[in-house]
Amino acid sequence: MTIDSFFIEQRIIEAVKNLLNGCVNEILTGWEYLIPVIDFGSFGSRYAVAPVVSLLSCERTEKERIISLDAYSLSVTFTLFEHEDGELFCYAYSTAFAKALGEDVTLGGIADRAVITGKKYIAPKKPHCGEGWGLELSLRVTVEQ
């Protein structure tokens, strides 16, 4: 057992990455339209995108303290290269992630429940200047201690 397996925070981040690399990519490749796949080994291109999964905070309300439940806030951020279908790609990633998470709300048994709490679509400030679309998904992951 490695030291990383002791930290629930690391296990949550890895579970989200596995969901993106696995189920989300399966959903994307099953659609008629060609959408860049998710690949964490790439730097992003027209053929692959590398989202950033960040743990933002962990909190406990009074009720959550009583039942020993930690609530983690995460963000999954997609930064896309400029492309005429960039907006469509954002919607596709958002829909595919929501569908994949709906099929595995426990993130492979790591969490009690994971839900999307927000979606932010980021348009380029100035079209045709090299800046692409972006998508930020906010997640709430609850884990019983």
Q: Where are the domains of the chain?
A: 3-14+50-144
Nearest to 12, CA basis, from 68, 70, 83, 93: 70
**β-sheet bridge partners, residue 41:** none
| Residue 2 in this model has a pLDDT that exceeds 60 | no
CATH topology of domain 3-14+50-144: Alpha-Beta Plaits (3.30.70)
Which pLDDT band holds residue 65 (cuts at 50, 70, 90)? low
**pTM of the full structure:** 0.88
- Residue 144's pLDDT band, with cuts at 50, 70 and 90, is confident
Length of the chain in terms of residues written: 145
pLDDT of res. 44: 59
pLDDT confidence of residue 4: 47
